[in-house]
Structure 1
Amino acid sequence: MREPTYRDAIKAGWQLAWHHKSLWIFGMFAAFLGQMGIVELLSKMTFGVSYFRAPSFFVYAWDTFSQAGLSSLLRALDLSVDKWVWLIWLIIIFIGFGIFLAFVAVVSQGAIVHSATRFIEKNGKKFESTSVSWDHSRKHFWKLFGLNVLRKCVLALFISFVVWGTFNALIEPSAGDIVLFFVLFLMAAMVGMVLSFLLVYAVGYVVVEEFSFIKAIRSAWRLFTRHWFVSFEIGFIFIILNIVFVVIMLLGMYLLFLPSLALFAAAFLIQSTGLYTAGIILGFVLFIPFIVVLGSVFTVFGTATWTYLFTKMHREGIISHLVHLFHGGK
């Protein structure tokens, strides 16, 4: 039997994403769970550095609360009965929307994994309705939800360390602070990637093999330890794919905003505020559907590619591409 390659995985992922457009709706919601590995880590670290300051977010929150004061907070909450009713309803609506979004995103993630597995088992042939995958994933919602929450919590913990190290390196830095920052950054980057690998494998075990929560985590760890070099190779490939995704997104934004630029030029010449506003609206009307579709396709593609690799690792095993080269292709 021919050894499965990364090219086979990417090809299978693209075929599933392109030929099964019904999965794009799943990809749109699953994208809310975040991307893989170091890309998500870097984006969250940047966000954290922008808004938090050392030594931690809790100190920042306490300082803000102390400056505002309890009396100011109580005055802000001094509302009439009807305003309290509207506020409570608004909070309930937001909480309900958040719960709905979390449910759909998690189930969509599992549905893509299940669909990819069926696609692989049928050797790339089209399969029946994706509703089967949705129903199958829905049965495992709590396990999938728990895996995603666990990953987010551990990742957030390490990101907070990086943010703390960043501020120490920026505010009156010493040589030790700079070294500490790089150590924390590298540790967080490695942990972020490993957590992403483990999440992919654990989700695969839950959806494909229907393992329990704990058994899926243990099996994912064993699979990672047997294929750790392969996992990192694939992780770096996905970093490149994420860069390609960003480049396509920026090119699309440039092209789709060209009509808006024409309207801006016309608005400047005739001094028309309405035409300028129309240009802004037109740009967003064209760009938002583009980025939603692009993000949905990329999420389906990425999840399907990882699922292909998971099934091959789990059932057949994959040899590292670099190891294969160093051994002369034997």
Structure 2
Amino acid sequence: MRTPLYRQALRESWELAWKHKLLWIFGFFAAFLGQMGLVELFAKIGLAGTKFAFFPKWLLLPEFFGLRLFPIQSLALPIDGWMWFIWLLVVFAGFGLLLLFVAVVSQGALVHAAAQWVKKGKAPNVDKAWHAGVGHFWRLLFLNLLKKVFLLALAVVLGFATVNVMLGVTVGNVILFVLLFILAVAVGMAVSFLAIYAAGYVVVEEYQFWRALESAWKLFLSHWLVSIEVGLILLFLNFVLGVVVLASFFVLFLPTLLLWMIAISIASGTLYFIAMIIGLFFFLLFVVFLGSVFSVFTTASWTYLFMKMHREGVASRILGWAGVHRV
């Protein structure tokens, strides 16, 4: 059982993410699937008390999916207008499916590139990585769908418990909420780690879907504490990233603020609008850049640790501090 490799994993992953900039493209698209690790889980749990996911009224379902309740007949379109409307829906659906395909393939490409980096220590072949992602598309797609269904189900259950407490603060309701919260976090963490390790088995070891899940479960059972430790480290780095994004908002909008002041002094609405667009553009560009690089970094970190766990075994740092040498 190897000693913890966290620092080495983070250093190697950062080197891969920073040196090989073509991988940023994969990182950008893979980010649409959600980040590997615990971020998506805690985001789902954080939304547990909102009416969009959990308020028990069917009328809120369209609003939950970002839609507004309005009768479709109110569009009052002529026949050719309806044809254009349907065609527009088909086009948007096509773009959505294309984005889903590229996102899943990009995730597989990043796992493959990181695995090659760990095994051979040389620059990953972007073309081979892309084809590896394409070759594992369906298995990775089902893994991501399975993960999202489980996390959404946990969030819905926790949401009902939240609403129950809000409607009546009793000892029983509070105890039920606490128990369901602990259960949701525990199961959600297990599901998140299983999805990561199963993706590693699919892409790196070429396992079939069910064998990958079974192997991922066994790997998680033998490294559950290591998984939590790494997940919390990356969760903390996400917090640091959020602070950087917040700070960048103020820094990047300083030139825009000067333009705003000039626009107000000369009463120019056009200059005010241009200043706002410029500031927003550079801020979004910076956020996309950070998100893409960080997506490569987190995927590489998990892939690195997966390979070490699978082939050599990794000891828990907490147990090491406690003088225990086995997980």
Q: What TM-score do the two structures reach when normalised by structure 2?
A: 0.91
1:62 to partner: Cα distance:
9.3
| Number of aligned residue pairs | 323
**Matching residue of 1:20:** 20
**Letter in structure 2 aligned against 1:98:** G
Distance 2:165 2:87 in 1: 45
Cα RMSD after superposing both structures:
2.5
For the structure 1 residues 53 and 131, does the alpha-carbon distance in structure 2 shift closer, same or farther, using more than 3 Å as the test? closer
Report the AA paired with residue 126 of structure 1. Answer: A
Aligned to 2:311: 315
Gaps of 5+ in 2: none
Give the alignment of 1:16-55 within 5 angstroms.
16-47=16-47, 49-52=49-52, 55=55
| Structure 1 counterpart of 2:215, one-letter code | S
C-alpha separation between the residues in 1 aligned to 2:275 and 2:16?
36
The separation in 2 between residues aligned to 1:319 and 1:180, in whole angstroms, is 35
Mapping 1:139-154, distance limit 5 Å: 139-154=135-150
What are the Cα deviations for residues 155-214 of structure 1, in whole angstroms up to 9, with x where unaligned? 100011122122222234323223322322222222222211111100000000110000
Alignment of 1:306 onto 2:296: no
What CA distance in whole angstroms lies between the structure 2 residues aligned with 1:242 and 1:231? 16
Which residue of the other structure, out of 184, 195, 198, is the alignment partner of 1:199?
A: 195
> How many percent of aligned residue pairs carry the same amino acid?
46
Indicate how the Cα distance of structure 1 residues 48 and 57 shifts in structure 2: closer, same or farther if over 3 A, else same.
farther
Q: Which of 123, 127, 135 in structure 2 is aligned with 1:126?
A: 123
Residue identity matched to 1:206: V
Query: SS state of the match for residue 190, structure 2?
Result: helix
Of residues 186, 192, 215, the one that matches 1:190 is 186
Q: Which amino acid aligns with 2:228?
A: F
- 1:283 corresponding residue in structure 2: 279
Alpha-carbon distance, 1:38 to partner: 3.8
Please, which moves more after superposition, 73-82 or 309-318? 73-82
1:1-330 equivalent positions in 2, closer than 5 A? 3=3, 5-47=5-47, 49-52=49-52, 55-56=55-56, 58=58, 60-61=60-61, 73=71, 75-76=73-74, 79-123=77-121, 125-127=122-124, 129-327=125-323
Contact 1:169 1:177 in 2 (8 A): yes
Cα–Cα, structure 1 residues 2 and 158, in superposed 2: closer, same or farther, change >3 Å?
Answer: closer
For the residues of structure 2 that align with 1:206 and 1:236, how far apart are their CA atoms? 25
TM-score w.r.t. the length of structure 1 is: 0.90
Separation of aligned partners in 2, 1:74 and 1:301: 44
Deviation of 1:60 after TM superposition, in Å, equals: 3.4
